[in-house]
Structure 1
Amino acid sequence: MTLQTQGQAGLADQIAAKARHFGPGLLLCLVVSGVALAAEHVEAGFFGRAWLEALVLAILIGTLVRSLWRPGRRWLPGIALSAKTLLEIAVVLLGASLSAATIAAAGAPLLLGIAAVVFVAIGLSYGIGRLLGLPQRMAILVACGNSICGNSAIAAVAPVIGADGDDVAASIAFTAVLGVAVVLGLPLLIALLGLSVHQFGILAGLTVYAVPQVLAATAPAGQAAIQLGTLVKLVRVLMLGPVVLVLSMLSIRLRGRTDAPAAGHRFAPHHIVPWFIVGFVVMAALRSAGLIPTVLLSPLAGLANLLTIISMAALGLGVDLRSVAKAGPRVSAAVILSLLALGAISLGLIHLLAVP
């Protein structure tokens, strides 16, 4: 056997091992997604339109499956791959639908308003947490998680303020369930509050926890809402860098130290900005420069939508409704009230800027 043949055989073995590792969970997510797409089609046939998009149905069906049956260890790698990696790829592909004209149309007032909302929401959320009796570090984690980007913000801020594992676990326990609730419930506000497509896109970008979840939340309102919501959320995520830097300096000052803000922690920008955000920006830049052929825009958007549906199925399969009870009443109340406060501030910004 030649070296080339041995190399090919080794590569085939690696591919087979990866397929066995990720295959079961990925297949389960594909099945849930297929059922969601079929249900959307049936729904459209009966009612003339799909009141619940496949994205939302995938979450609901996945959550139902998870409530009736807890997937074993062999299913988990594929579910995790679908929930994270596929969704991140979808976000990158979505960048192809965003041009410089869309960014310019947002305007400097909106971009400055997003930064103001983040800092005001952090202060207000921190105050709510303290009033409810949360420890200082816990209140900071909840405030940053709600105001910026959920678990990612909590993970980035925790070492800066010296939070321990229990603080982090308690802070994120409620995020998965509440995040899904926001994705499912937010579109109801379109009719309830009489929001326009652009207003809803901004609201979703300012309140939904994760960048990928903005896709699911804004899908019922159309492509314009998806684009604007993603842009707003992108700016909001980028605020994590300045927030961590401020907390880092405050932490050093409070401890009277001039070295690292927390043991073993080193401020690193590449840990603050996820790779898929960079990819999203690159794709948007390529689109703005005319380097992505127009004929590819629709297929890229379709692929992003399909990957998002699969990821939403995985998100539903990962929702453990018992985490609400585990989070504790004070943490749960702080997170919910902080989210409501963020929504109120966001609506205030929308009306202040007179968004059409």
Structure 2
Amino acid sequence: MATAHHSVSDHLRQTGALPAPLRGVARLLPGVLLSASVGAAAYGLQLIETALFGHPWVEGLVIAILVGAALRLVWTPSSLWAPGIAFSAKTLLEVAVALLGATVSGAAVMALGPVMLLAIMSVVALAIVGGYALGRAFGLPPAMALLVACGNAICGNSAIAAVAPVIEAEGQDVAAAIGFTAVLGIAVVLLVPVVGALMGYDATRVGVLAGLTVYAVPQVLAAAAPAGMLAVQTGAIVKLVRVLMLGPVCLVLGLMRSGKVEGAKRPRLHHMAPWFIIVFLILMGLRSAGLIPEFVLPPLQAGVTSMTLIAMAALGLMVDPRAVVRAGPRVAAVAALSALLIGALALATIVLILPG
């Protein structure tokens, strides 16, 4: 069946039987449907958990990642499935984050307060310095150590991609850092709800923990979702502050490398402020101004949850645990220790800033 579908799609593309937009949709459809199927199965398992135990011990978003990763271990998606899976894991998740802005008001941002904002910036700075020191202690080259440190401290692959040209990192260093971050990022998403439950954190604290530790902005939704919408909103805001640190960090690294302003390479705008963050902020502003009706929020939140579920399934399908082996034991050890470092800094921040 897959072979027949693939040949038909090829024929349509070659003959131009479909308009260009429809050809694009046809190319994405198999992978999107596969991701949606894995997501639906994960949601079904969550419903079974709820029926058996009264509440889900493992949330559907987490199940979707695990099911997708388990499938990826035994089967590598072909070119028929890959485009739609990648679209679901990236674009669909970015859309979900953008729409999440409509559920967040400016009052929630102001509620963080100057102390929390300063704490977030301090965590990023300490995580970069500490991660770099760990990398050098394990014998990693300076560029590789810095890539891993920035990836852990700020926003994973996006930070690595933004920092790499600034410090003129080698291609193999970038590939190794990104390869391991993809796997470790999933582990962080899975661990945040567990740590939050073990520590007895409320929604705000879980959100802060997710926002300070999870690599990608979209993945904050999956990490914080088990604690509720307040945790998701708080996590998104905290994470956005971390992402906005990428521009200053790239500028400082460029200045340090060149030794003069003229020689510093500028970080790219789409790394400093991706489109979905801009839309998030616009929608948040509209919500704060009372321009988004309250009756649209429940279906909007349901849509965000559904898209996130599909995206987490796709993310699992894209993660190859064997990337850990390819990245090398030293890179793996440094990345893992750097993740533990920022986790410890996040827990310390919660204790100091949100006691009780």
Say which SS state the counterpart of residue 177 (structure 1) adopts: helix
The percent of aligned pairs where both chains have the same amino acid is 53
Question: 1:214 corresponds to which residue?
Answer: 220
| CA deviation string 1:159-192 (max 9, x = no partner) | 0001010110111111111111111122111232
Aligned match for 2:120, one of 108, 114, 121: 114
Aligned in 2, Cα 1:301/1:240: closer, same or farther, shift over 3 Å? same
1:244 aligns with 2:250: yes
**Normalising to structure 1: TM-score of the pair?**
0.92
Structure 2: distance between partners of 1:58 and 1:271 = 28
Say which SS state the counterpart of residue 73 (structure 1) adopts: coil
| CA deviation string 1:99-152 (max 9, x = no partner) | 011111111110111011101111011101100101000111011000000000
Q: CA deviation at 1:259?
A: 4.2
Aligned match for 1:31, one of 37, 41, 49: 37
Structure 1: distance between partners of 2:159 and 2:84 = 25
| CA deviation string 1:225-278 (max 9, x = no partner) | 11111110000000001100100111111xxx66443xxx54443442111111
Q: Which amino acid is the alignment partner of residue 311 of structure 1?
A: A
Q: Which amino acid is the alignment partner of residue 257 of structure 2?
A: S
Structure 1: distance between partners of 2:22 and 2:269 = 36
1:72 aligns with 2:66: no
Aligned match for 1:92, one of 83, 87, 98: 98
- Structure 1 residues 138-217: aligned runs within 5 Å: 138-217=144-223
Structure 2: distance between partners of 1:258 and 1:195 = 45
Structure 1: distance between partners of 2:197 and 2:267 = 44
| CA deviation string 1:272-315 (max 9, x = no partner) | 21111111111110100011110001111111111000000100
Q: Which amino acid is the alignment partner of residue 101 of structure 1?
A: A
Say which SS state the counterpart of residue 71 (structure 1) adopts: coil
In structure 1, runs of 5+ residues without a counterpart are: 1-9
Question: 1:311 corresponds to which residue?
Answer: 311
Note if contact 1:198-1:225 (Cα within 8 Å) is conserved in structure 2: yes
Question: 2:352 corresponds to which residue?
Answer: 352
Note if contact 2:158-2:271 (Cα within 8 Å) is conserved in structure 1: no
Structure 2: distance between partners of 1:16 and 1:349 = 49
Q: CA deviation at 1:54?
A: 1.4
1:288 aligns with 2:288: yes
Note if contact 1:260-1:266 (Cα within 8 Å) is conserved in structure 2: no
Structure 1: distance between partners of 2:311 and 2:182 = 14
Q: Which amino acid is the alignment partner of residue 305 of structure 2?
A: N
Note if contact 1:30-1:310 (Cα within 8 Å) is conserved in structure 2: yes
Q: CA deviation at 1:33?
A: 1.1
Structure 2: distance between partners of 1:290 and 1:115 = 30
1:328 aligns with 2:334: no
1:103 aligns with 2:87: no
Aligned in 2, Cα 1:51/1:154: closer, same or farther, shift over 3 Å? same
Q: Which amino acid is the alignment partner of residue 246 of structure 1?
A: V
Structure 2: distance between partners of 1:166 and 1:61 = 30
Structure 1: distance between partners of 2:354 and 2:303 = 34
Q: Which amino acid is the alignment partner of residue 131 of structure 1?
A: A
Structure 1: distance between partners of 2:355 and 2:213 = 17
Structure 2: distance between partners of 1:63 and 1:270 = 29
| CA deviation string 1:308-345 (max 9, x = no partner) | 00000100000101101011111001001111111111
Note if contact 1:198-1:355 (Cα within 8 Å) is conserved in structure 2: no
Q: May I ask how many residue pairs the two structures share in their alignment?
A: 341
Question: 1:50 corresponds to which residue?
Answer: 56
1:128 aligns with 2:134: yes
Note if contact 2:154-2:245 (Cα within 8 Å) is conserved in structure 1: yes
Q: Which amino acid is the alignment partner of residue 48 of structure 1?
A: G
Note if contact 2:255-2:261 (Cα within 8 Å) is conserved in structure 1: no
Q: CA deviation at 1:19?
A: 2.6
| CA deviation string 1:7-35 (max 9, x = no partner) | xxx99622331232111111111111111
